[in-house]
């Protein structure tokens, strides 16, 4: 059953045991203080090591890059040590894991920023319909509207790239097999890419090539530290969350796909419009992406095993990423192989909390 989906595949420097990818899933369970991965996080990822590749939850590359309380970072020694425990647990179960490198840009709030300063963005435009998750002054958590950002000065952008570079160095030291540059879902790199959120007049604004510059510089920084064969990138064409309205969505994705092909990265991960809404990707556009990018091409967007298997069989996709099914089914690959029923995820336990709804879902065994 699902012979295409469950077959091995090469991803850059790695050979994956199957084409079932665990998508990045924010769970807001990092240890406090310090947003440090814990033994509980290690147990969660180890349970899911049967995936061909785990992509970690989005992991901020600096405090500036954080938009939600209790998400893990990869910019302190303590965080690096915590992730080392996680990768060791995954490797002990024979798994492979990539670190997803994240800077939220304007999707943040002064309560999450050092010294209570404003978040940063390509342009000083607030994401009016967006919220972020904070711990308030009285210690209670809350979803609050995002803060008003300030525009990054051109001279600050090398510092942003340095954050991606240093995060890659730490990810490599922590034992990650790969890194994934998160250029999707309305966060900083997509804010630079999108025509409505980037109103700059310097070399990072205006033309498509200029708007894509920061994303490619972040990728180049990662390549310099870990090698192109261990770098992936996530894009989300037609994403409309966080007030993204990109008039060049498909052109941007195809331009980046070609540039990433030229760099020889391991994989391109396409997050299709799903939970955030947005225009569905057409088969023609998927085929254009396939023509532009020759590495491992992953699609993620609410696929069933049968749908994913068919997309791989068609030659358009090489692998399929599964998100919510992995919340509730740590043995998802085995369930697919056996044609078994899937556990239903408990939405009330998605964000925050402890082991309940995190490491206590039953396996077939």
The token pair at 10 is 């090469």
Q: Which of 2, 68, 187, 326 is catalytic?
A: 187
- Alpha carbon distances (Å) from 138 to 73, 111, 335, 365: 23, 12, 45, 44
Within 8 A by CB and 6+ apart from 23, the residues are 55, 271, 300, 321, 322, 323, 326
The helix (H) or strand (E) run that includes residue 237 is: none
Give the separation between CA 130 and CA 105, rounded to whole angstroms: 12
Q: d(Cα 52, Cα 44) in Å, to the nearest integer?
A: 16
Q: What is the distance between the alpha carbons of residues 16 and 353, in angstroms, rounded to a whole number? A: 32
- DSSP notation for 87-125: HHHHHHTT--EEEEEE--TTS--GGGSGGGPPPEESSS-
Output the six-digit token pair for 304.
């069933």
For tokens 């925050």, name the residue. 352
Separation between Cα atoms, residue 16 and residue 19, nearest integer Å: 7
H or E element, residue 139: none
Neighbouring C-alpha atoms within 13 Å toward the C-beta of 203: 7
C-alpha dist (Å) from residue 332 to 10, 53, 304, 337, 342: 20, 12, 12, 9, 8
E-assigned strand segments in 221-266: 231-235
187 is catalytic: yes
Beta strands in 183-224 (DSSP E): none
* Active-site residue set: 187
């Amino acid at each position: 059953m699902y012979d295409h989906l469950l077959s091995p595949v090469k991803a850059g420097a790695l050979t994956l045991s199957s084409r079932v990818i665990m998508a990045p899933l924010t769970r807001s369970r990092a240890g406090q203080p310090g947003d440090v991965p814990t033994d509980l996080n290690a147990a969660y990822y180890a349970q899911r090591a049967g995936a061909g590749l785990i992509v970690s939850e989005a992991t901020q590359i600096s405090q500036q890059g954080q938009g939600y309380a209790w998400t893990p970072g990869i910019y302190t020694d303590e965080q690096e040590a915590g992730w080392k425990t996680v990768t060791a647990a995954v490797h002990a179960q024979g798994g492979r894991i990539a670190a997803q490198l994240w800077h939220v840009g304007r999707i943040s709030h002064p309560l999450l920023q050092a010294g209570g300063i404003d978040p940063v963005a390509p342009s000083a435009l607030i994401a009016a319909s967006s919220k972020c998750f904070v711990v308030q002054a009285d210690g209670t958590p809350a979803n609050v509207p995002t803060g008003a950002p300030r525009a990054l000065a051109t001279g600050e952008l090398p510092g942003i790239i340095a954050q991606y570079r240093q995060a890659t160095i730490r990810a490599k030291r922590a034992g990650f097999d790969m890194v994934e540059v998160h250029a999707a879902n309305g966060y900083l790199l997509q804010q630079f890419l999108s025509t409505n959120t980037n109103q700059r007049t310097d070399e990072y604004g205006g033309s498509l090539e200029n708007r894509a510059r920061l994303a490619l510089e972040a990728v180049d920084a990662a390549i310099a530290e870990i090698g192109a064969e261990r770098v992936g990138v996530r894009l989300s064409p037609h994403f409309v969350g966080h007030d993204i309205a990109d008039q060049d969505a498909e052109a941007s994705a195809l331009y980046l796909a070609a540039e990433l092909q030229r760099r020889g990265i391991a994989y391109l991960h396409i997050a299709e419009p799903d939970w955030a809404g947005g225009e569905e990707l057409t088969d023609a556009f998927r085929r254009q992406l396939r023509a532009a990018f020759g590495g491992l091409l992953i699609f993620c967007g609410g696929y069933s095993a049968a749908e994913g298997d068919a997309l791989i069989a068609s030659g358009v996709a090489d692998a399929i990423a599964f998100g919510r099914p992995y919340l509730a089914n740590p043995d998802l690959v085995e369930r697919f192989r056996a044609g078994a029923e899937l556990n239903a995820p408990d939405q009330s336990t998605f964000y925050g909390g402890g082991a309940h709804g995190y490491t206590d879902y039953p396996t077939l065994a």
